[in-house]
Amino acid sequence: MTATTDITQLRTPRPPVAEPDQAVDLFTAKGFELAIRIGKAFATSNAVPAQFRNFTEKKEKGGAIVLVENPAALGNCIVAIETARAVGMSITAVMQQANIIEGKLSWSAQFVIGAINASGRFTPLRFDMKAKGPMKATYREKQGWNNEKRGFDFVDRTVEVDNVECIAWALPRNFACPPGIYTLKQARDANLPVIESAPVSMKMAVEEGWYAKPGSKWQTEMRTLMLQYRAGAFFGRIHAPDIVMGMGRTTEEVVDMQTIEVASDGAVTSVTTEQLRGDRKVQPAEVVNQVNAVGADDEPTGEVPPPPPPATAATPTPGPAFDAEGLAERMRAAKDRSSLDALGKELQAANVGEEVSAPLEELFLELLDALPAAPAPAPTSRRASRPAASME
């Protein structure tokens, strides 16, 4: 009897077809799933900044360190992955060099300069430093909160500094630079195709409010480095915007242009350059002495000018972190008006920003109304708009 042969046994087995590799694409289902997997892997690493980790370390009172969950970690990682994909950079490099300040990603100036040099579009950046002579300039310094005008007080201060100017410059890629060209003036005199940034000077730092910020590096020996960082950032924004695409100001600019105070509950208080200027028009700097100043037509010596004398205005010393959440819990636990009044005095003495104090003062008033009246008056509230015995 002849055996029946199954036709499937006569077919040559075909090798499985390999699916094409998937790339990160936030607008496709598989690409987005891949981005999430990559983001989760980065979020578990302790080699990335805290804003990209699932858990961050928080120092408690007494020195104990506890882990606090960061619900924004995966989302921040996805933003970093998309940014790295858009600008063609390493994801790790973006996470290490991009800082998140008030919800915005910003490159560090060092990263911008490195990206410009690595792009190969220009010759490596050079920095032309020129002394313009001593000058006097006025800036506004932030003071405490004013209850009457419901805003911060500012004091005008005058400082005398050496006005140093810095320009970042380069030549086009593969340009054959003639021998003996080392300075910006030599390149201009030789009619070379110089590409340069807008000039950055100490006069600009004072007038724009960068100098006035508490703890500003512009008031220290690092002013020369700050001039070069800012000039490099200006160069990148004008001549290589695609390198810093979508990143806005550099980290150093954000810090210089705003006084940022972050409370323990995450509330942010900031003062912008416009607030520092106020209604006062910026007055031109007064030239004190032009002796030994390098003129525009003089041959630069290549030496960095000596640092200016220290600022006359004292730099405020930051105080300890304010525990807004803990104070709110103690207010809720207060059993009598005297205990609540003591906590109100503690809030008033803390002198924190309105973003932090406003909800606490509203909680104070709410709890105060719920307690029976007492003969002793309570502390003054900065937000009380109605008369109250305990908030005068």
Query: What is the residue extent of each domain of the chain?
Result: 29-101, 109-287, 322-392
**pLDDT band for position 383 (50/70/90)?**
very low
CB 361 within 8 A of CB 353: no
pLDDT at residue 25 above 80?
yes
Residue 33: the pLDDT is 92
Torsional sign, CA 375, 376, 377, 379:
negative
Rounded distance between C-alpha atoms, residue 241 and residue 49, angstroms? 25
- Total residues belonging to the chain: 392
What is the phi/psi pair of residue 200, to 5°?
-120, 130
Residue 10: the pLDDT is 54
Residue 157: the pLDDT is 81
Amino acid at 384: A
Measure the CA angle with vertex 305, ends 303 and 308; round to 5°.
165
Residue among 318, 247, 259 at smallest CA distance from 100: 247
**pLDDT band for position 248 (50/70/90)?**
very low
- Within 13 A of 380's CA, how many CA atoms are on the CB side? 8
What are the tens digits of pLDDT across the range 93-116? Answer: 888 887 777 677 778 888 889 888
Q: Tell whether pTM > 0.75.
A: no
Residue 125: the pLDDT is 94
What are the tens digits of pLDDT across the range 274-329? Answer: 554 554 444 444 444 443 444 444 444 444 455 555 444 444 444 456 777 777 88
